[in-house]
Amino acid sequence: MPDLRLEPSQAVSPQRANPLLRLLSLRRIEVLTQAVVLLLAVAWLRIPLHVVPMMLVIVLLAAANLATQWRVNRGGPPSDREILAQLSVDVGALALLLYFAGGPANPFVSLFLLPPTLASAMLPARHAWAMAAMTLVAYSFLIFWSLPLPPPQVDLSRFDALLARATAGAGGPAGHGSSFALHVLGMWLNFVISVGIVVYFLTRMAAALKQRERELATARESVLRQEQILSLGTLAAGAAHQLGTPLATMAVVIREIELNHPRNGDLHEDLSLLRRQVDRCKQTISQILASTGRAREEDLGGMALDAYLQRMLDEWQLIRPQARVETTLTGSHPAPIVLPDRTLEQAILNLLDNAADANGEHPEALRFSAVWEADACRIDILDHGPGLPTSGAPVPGQPFFSTKPVSRDKPGGLGIGLFLSNATVERFGGKVELFERREPSGGTCTRITLPLNRLKR
């Protein structure tokens, strides 16, 4: 069943991801990898390392990550200095581990490149340069002060022979010691870890940038819609002010015609209808001018939702006496108590007008169905009109586009009713959807989904 979901007029964007969350994930990988590498070096390669101080560094790094998790749970965005301090903890832990494991001779020394890379992606230039200087100082310190990396106590002759054959065919040296084989193995493992971390971080960063671009595009569209709504509101206020005099003149003329033709019953009936319509127009204009900055009728007190909807339908029938509508109001009883809102009421009436215009002279009546629970309400307005436009046609709900046909008797629509109704419903956290009906009579279902929390006192 094809449907049309109108785009929100207000961008509800998710909060920007906390950079500390990325650091938490990366540090978990860092702690796990350091523990596994230390375990392999001691248990498999039987390298006589200083296990106790190195394990203490890894445990302290894990404790720092737990403290960072507690900081994230407290909420609030981190400062640039805080992120720099977090990266400094990683640099310090890596420097201490390398101090006990050969310093710059350790193949994992290139991991010093990761903190400046992360700082360049997340922090201003001056903080990134500070991180670069910090890693440079740590690297320089290890050149002069570090414990040598002991050779492995396991036989690596097979790996040496395999490495010798591979490099000799490429013009490398024909023989290698076990220390060189260990260095090559460490470089390979370091490459695997570095590639995994870089790809993980850059893909997450690219996804965050794309999400940010979508949020900015949605925000720009929201600003444009708000400007259009503001322009329409200004024009409506001006039109309301200017229509007061012609309507007063029409009321006077209708009254004079009634006095001049006191015995014409048919004319009196038509004039009475005209007078009610003029009074309704004057009342609507008065409400527009009086409800500026005060759209909710709080002075009337709360109303049950079913009574509010029924009152709205009764008022609509006064405006559209020729339209026939079948009403179904179902839900929990007693119905939730809401504060009547003029703007929301006008939005629903606009959608009813659109459905009545689409229904035209069809023999079947409109159907207005409302189903509610304690915190939400769903309204379906079913007509028997021509349905939604074909694919490729302009989208209903865009400003100044109307699907109403133009004829000699009817000038067509202005194309703002659905647009303003959608914007109003979304201001209350709801949405408007249009569905193509697959019944034999065809038509359209206009669905309004509305949470009730903003309508309650």
* Strand pairing report for 444-451 and 376-382: antiparallel
Closest residue by Cα to residue 141 from 186, 190, 92, 180: 92
Give percent above pLDDT 70 in the chain.
Answer: 75
* Least confident among 14-18, 64-68, 378-382, 386-390: 14-18
Distance CA(44)–CA(26), nearest Å, equals: 26
DSSP per-residue letters across 219-287: HHHHHHHHHHHHHHHHHHHHHHHHHHHHHHHHHHHHHHHHHH-TT-HHHHHHHHHHHHHHHHHHHHHHH
CA–CA separation, 328 and 290 (whole Å): 32
Q: How confident is the model at residue 210 (pLDDT cuts 50, 70, 90)?
A: confident
Q: What DSSP line would sit under 151-174, residue for residue?
A: PPSS--HHHHHHHHHHHHTTT--S
pLDDT tens-digit readout, 260-269: 887 787 888 8
78: DSSP letter: P
Residue 100 or residue 276, greater confidence: 100
Find the mean pLDDT for residues 183-193.
71
pLDDT (average), residues 203-209: 78
**pLDDT at res. 300:** 53
Comparing 140-154, 227-241, 275-289, 404-418, the range with the smallest average pLDDT is 404-418
Query: At residue 393, does pLDDT exceed 80?
Result: no
pLDDT at residue 297 is higher than 80? no
The DSSP element (H or E) to which 147 belongs, if any, is none
- What pLDDT, on the 0 to 100 scale, is given for residue 181? 59
The pLDDT of residue 238 is 65
> pLDDT-derived band of residue 229, with 50, 70 and 90 as boundaries?
low
Residues whose CB falls within 8 Å of the CB of residue 154, separated by 6 or more in sequence, listed in order: 44, 45, 46
Tens of pLDDT, residues 422-445: 888 888 888 888 888 776 667 888
> What whole-number percentage of the chain has pLDDT above 90?
17
Domain 301-455 is in which class? alpha beta
Residue type, 337: I
pLDDT above 50 (res 294): no
Phi/psi zone of residue 248: left (φ > 0), alpha (ψ -120 to 50 degrees), beta? alpha
Say which residues have a Cβ less than 8 Å from residue 174's Cβ, sequence separation at least 6.
164, 168
For residue 377, what are the β-bridge partners?
Answer: 372, 450
SS3 for 396? coil
Question: Averaged over 327-345, what is the pLDDT?
Answer: 86
**Boundaries of every domain in the chain:** 19-222, 301-455
Task: Enter the pTM of the model.
Answer: 0.47
**Predicted local confidence at residue 342, as pLDDT:** 78
Q: Is the pLDDT of residue 33 over 60?
A: yes
Residue with tokens 């069943």: 1
CB-based contacts of 265, cutoff 8 Å, min separation 6:
none
Please check whether residue 338 is in contact with residue 305, taking contact to mean a CB–CB distance below 8 angstroms.
Answer: yes
Adjacent-strand bridge partners of 337: 304
Nearest to 92 by CA among 61, 133, 71, 123: 61
Residue 86 contacts residue 24 (beta carbons within 8 Å): no
More confident residue, 198 or 125: 125
Residue 375 predicted with pLDDT over 90:
no
> Which residues have a Cβ under 8 Å from the Cβ of 343 and sit 6 or more positions away?
291, 295, 424, 427
Q: Which residues contact 278 (CB under 8 A, 6 or more apart)?
A: 247, 250, 251, 254
Q: What is residue 143's predicted lDDT score, i.e. its pLDDT?
A: 87
- The pLDDT assigned to 346 comes to 82
- Residue 448 near residue 379 (C-beta atoms within 8 A): yes
Tell whether the model's pLDDT for residue 406 goes beyond 70: no
Over residues 39-64, the mean pLDDT reads 90
Give pLDDT tens digits for 55-105: 999 999 999 999 999 998 888 888 899 999 999 999 999 999 999 988 888
* pLDDT at 187 > cutoff 80: no
Report the mean per-residue pLDDT for the chain.
78
The predicted pLDDT at position 233 comes to 66
pLDDT at 1 over 50: no
Candidates 305, 361, 296; CA nearest to 338 is: 305
pLDDT value for 82: 92
Residue 270, pLDDT > 90, answer no
419: β partners: none
Q: Which amino acid is at 386?
A: P
* Tokens matching residue 166: 């591979």
Q: Which residue has the higher pLDDT, 22 or 166?
A: 22
Q: List, for residues 141-177, the tens digit of each pLDDT value.
A: 998 898 988 887 776 666 666 656 655 544 444 444 4
pLDDT bin (cut points 50, 70, 90) of residue 287 is low
Residue 258 CB partners (closer than 8 Å, separation 6+)? 268, 271
